[in-house]
Amino acid sequence: MIGTGTTEAEAPAAYLGRYAQMLLIRLFEGEMHRLFLQGHIHGTTHLSSGQEAVPVGVCSALEPDDYVAGTYRGHGHALAKGADPEALAAEMLGRATGVCGGRAGSMNVIDVEHGLVGCFGIVGGSIAAATGAALSAARQGRVSAAFFGDGAANQGYFHEGLNFAKVLELPAVFVCENNFYGEFTPMAEVTAGGGIAARGAAYGLPARVVDGNDLWAVRAAALEAVENARSGAGPTLLECQTYRHYGHSKSDPASYRPKEEVDRWLARDPLVIARGRLLESELEERQVSAVEDETRERLERAIEAALEAPFPDPEDDAAREFRE
């Protein structure tokens, strides 16, 4: 029996911690937005505000040494898997103290210590990486999860990865964060057939559509998928339907999305849903507020420290092409 599925882990207090993780991601993304506009973050960055319930729900069903592969919209994947917010912020800022020493940047974060195999800048790359990690995981008694967007469901990586994982019955969980837009294009315009979950069935994977803005729903679906994977029953596909609050990247104001659609999704903000549900339980407002304050302070300290960190010095950069 795995520790995550116990009653204790379902207690309201446990969900308070998960809510705090979601809030941490939301606040982190807000800070990244601000720091980008102020010129501290370079190139581009892809924010995941609005999608927090998916990585937090899925990672809450995983053990710390299980594997996760994420996407270029991956700050939430990294934080949910346990990456240090200060090291992650420093990476975005290109500082020497970044989780990858400033060499990776926003789209390619790797945090081996926390089981984050990597975040991949190419659409669909996480699927093969997680499939491969599942080859190792099968021997190690671990599970491997891939996050990817709806756009990735049209890449070869998706079709080849699901088939490969099923043929070998690998302990993998494929988590599609369907935010209904592949970059600037509506998913429905470029995705044939009956939706993404339906494609899982074609490869013999159990597949389900999940309310990706409901932490409880994501966690329940993930627990089942992870248990199947760990018990040798093979991979699962979860299509978690959600919505990004920002545009695709920092150059995108997302003016292509109808206002009514945006309003409808904003009304289903995963943080608002989670907070409401916590207050319906035995938790009191002050308990929730206290955790929110703690999270805010934690992030403020992290950002401050990251901003004070030095840039890597090219003279000192002992970059080696190969491991000796």
Partner 1 sequence: MSELEFREAVRDAIAEEIERDPAVVFFGEDVAAAGGVFKATPELHERFGRERVFDTPISELALAGAAFGAAVTGLRPVIEIMFGDFMGLPMDSLVNQAAKYWYISNEQASVPLVVRSAVGAGGRFGAMHSQAHGTWFQGVPGLKIACPSSPADAKGLLKASIRDDNPVIFLEHKRLYSVKGPEPENELATLGRANVVRPGTDLTIVSIMRGVPDAVAAADRLAQHGIDPEVIDLRSLRPLDVETLLESVAKTNRLLAVEEGPRTGGWAAGVLGAVAEEALHDLDDAWTLTTAETPIPYSPSLEDSFLPDPDAIVASVTERLRISTAR
The answer to whether 278 and 288 are in contact (CB under 8 A) is: yes
Which residues are 118's β-sheet partners? 69
130 or 238, CB closer to partner 1? 130
**Closest distance to partner 1 from the beta carbon of 67 (Å):** 6
Which residues are 207's β-sheet partners? 237
Confirm or reject binding of residue 306 to partner 1 (CB under 8 A). no
Which letter does DSSP use for residue 210 in this model?
Answer: E
Q: Which residue in this structure is represented by tokens 């190139």?
A: 43
Q: Which stretch binds partner 1 (CB under 8 A): 25-33, 73-81, 112-120, 230-238?
A: 112-120
Confirm or reject binding of residue 169 to partner 1 (CB under 8 A). no
Q: Which stretch binds partner 1 (CB under 8 A): 71-79, 127-135, 187-195, 278-286?
A: 127-135
The answer to whether 127 and 147 are in contact (CB under 8 A) is: no
The C-alpha R_g of the chain, in whole angstroms, comes to 19
**Closest distance to partner 1 from the beta carbon of 85 (Å):** 18
The answer to whether 116 and 84 are in contact (CB under 8 A) is: no
Query: Which of 40, 63, 82, 108 touches partner 1 by CB under 8 A?
Result: 108
**Closest distance to partner 1 from the beta carbon of 161 (Å):** 5
Helix pair 12-37, 285-308: axis angle to 10 deg: 40
User: In what helix (H) or strand (E) does residue 111 lie, and over which residues does it extend?
Assistant: none
**Closest distance to partner 1 from the beta carbon of 165 (Å):** 8
The answer to whether 176 and 140 are in contact (CB under 8 A) is: no
Return the amino acid letter for 184: F
Dihedral sign (CA 246, 50, 58, 241): negative
263 or 313, CB closer to partner 1? 313
**CA distance linking residue 75 with residue 94, whole number of Å:** 15
Confirm or reject binding of residue 67 to partner 1 (CB under 8 A). yes
Query: Which of 17, 34, 141, 167 touches partner 1 by CB under 8 A?
Result: 167
Q: How many residues bind partner 1 (CB under 8 A)?
A: 47
Confirm or reject binding of residue 44 to partner 1 (CB under 8 A). no
133 or 221, CB closer to partner 1? 133
Chain positions 137 to 156 lying near partner 1, rule: CB under 8 A, are 137, 139-140, 144, 156
- Paired sense of beta strands 185-186 and 181-182, if any: antiparallel
* Contact residues: partner 1, CB under 8 A: 67, 69, 98-101, 103-104, 108, 110-113, 117-118, 120-122, 125, 127-137, 139-140, 144, 156-157, 160-161, 163-164, 167-168, 319-324
